[in-house]
Amino acid sequence: MYCQSNDELLELVNEARKVAKDGKVADYIPALGKANPGDLAVAIHYPDGTCLSAGDIERKITLQSISKVISLALVLMDRGYEHVFHHVGMEPTGDPFNSIAKLETMDVAKPLNPMINAGALAVTHLIIGSNVAERLQRLLKFIQTMAGNPDIGYCQEVAQSEFETAFLNRALCYFLKEHGIIKEDVEQLLDLYTKQCAIEMNCLDLARIGLVFAMDGVDPDSKAQVIPKDVARICKTFMVTCGMYNASGEFAIKIGIPAKSGVSGGIMGAVPRKFGIGVFGPALDEKGNSIAGIKFLEQLSRNYSLSMF
């Protein structure tokens, strides 16, 4: 039996919130620095439509790196397996998400996986459309379908703030362009990538998206296959091996569910064939994951034996 009531969830939230003071809000994207480090919001979405939530659930978060797993799904659908994995690899790095180090030491200069920034930039490059607006619109439409919410958009302030300060991501792009992994104009790709990362929603929407991945790509209401089963499987595998940056191994051992985090403090979880989870707690640990969010998931996984291993 899984968590049954908002009160049960609230108890876990109140306990986990205590560690938020040991974390730090990301401010390398200046607009993210405005978040309140003490916030914590969680939601669980079940296939029967039940949605539980607790904490500061009115807050909206930008997806940041969580968007990487969704853009990967779209691009796999757009371009197919062979094409995508010609541009990006499948191996975890053990390095921080924005590291440039491995690119130069590999024989073929392709990013090791789609969850690090270099790999995500290569993936976003593959989103089909005739201009940035059209490509963003396609991604937004896909996200709206998965969340069951046609009002989801992106936060202009956060997108702009990252665009103005993304010097490292620009460097990654130029490296990838030098090696033929990306072919488009770097400023154009960054425009799309920063808007993708700034796509904004609450933790209930996030849990609904997690549920679609958890249900092998099937929309729980319409029963439509919105992501092919094989694509959902690939995405969940990346969530396990690389979804929590260079803390993915520890997360797999302690929590054991496919999950993807972002520097905004969001975490999307997909408990296979059971439920989707959305978490938002902006204070981060030293590896860039929501410190209270991890604490919450640890307790949730322990209480309800959620580890898939």
Three-class secondary structure of residue 18 per DSSP: helix
For the question of residue 24 being annotated catalytic, the response is: no
Q: Which of residues 112-171 bind ligand GLN (CB under 6 A)?
A: 117, 162, 169
For the question of residue 263 being annotated catalytic, the response is: yes
For the question of residue 65 being annotated catalytic, the response is: yes
Among candidate residues 107, 110, 105, the one with its CA nearest the CA of residue 121: 110
Q: Which of 68, 236, 274, 295 is catalytic?
A: 68
- Binding ligand GLN (rule: CB under 6 A), the pick from 53, 71, 93, 98 is 98
Q: Which of 25, 42, 53, 65 is catalytic?
A: 65
Q: Smaller CB distance to ligand GLN: residue 76 or 192?
A: 192
- Binding ligand GLN (rule: CB under 6 A), the pick from 37, 56, 65, 242 is 65
Q: Which amino acid is at 117?
A: N
Structure tokens at 11: 């108890």
For the question of residue 193 being annotated catalytic, the response is: yes
Does residue number 201 form part of the binding site for ligand GLN (CB under 6 A)? Answer: no
Does residue number 290 form part of the binding site for ligand GLN (CB under 6 A)? Answer: no
Q: Which of 67, 158, 193, 236 is catalytic?
A: 193
d(CA 59, CA 75): 29
CA angle 209, 210, 211 (to 5 degrees): 90
- Binding ligand GLN (rule: CB under 6 A), the pick from 16, 263, 271, 306 is 263
Does residue number 289 form part of the binding site for ligand GLN (CB under 6 A)? Answer: no
The nearest distance, CB 5 to ligand GLN, in angstroms, is: 32
Does residue number 291 form part of the binding site for ligand GLN (CB under 6 A)? Answer: no
Q: Which amino acid is at 63?
A: L
Q: Torsion angle of alpha carbons 295, 299, 300, 303, nearest 10°?
A: 180
Q: Smaller CB distance to ligand GLN: residue 194 or 202?
A: 194
Phi-psi map region of 290: left, alpha, beta (phi>0 left; psi -120 to 50 alpha): beta
- Binding ligand GLN (rule: CB under 6 A), the pick from 46, 97, 280, 296 is 97
d(CA 121, CA 174): 11
For the question of residue 81 being annotated catalytic, the response is: no
Burial class for 143, CB neighbours closer than 10 Å (0-12, 13-18, 19+): buried
Q: Which of residues 160-199 bind ligand GLN (CB under 6 A)?
A: 162, 169, 197
Q: Smaller CB distance to ligand GLN: residue 146 or 197?
A: 197
Among candidate residues 276, 248, 282, the one with its CA nearest the CA of residue 263: 282
293 bridge partner residues = none
Provide the pairing of β-strand 24-25 with 41-45: unpaired
Catalytic positions: 65, 68, 193, 245, 263
Residues lying near ligand GLN in the complex (CB under 6 A): 64-65, 97-98, 117, 162, 169, 197, 262-263, 288
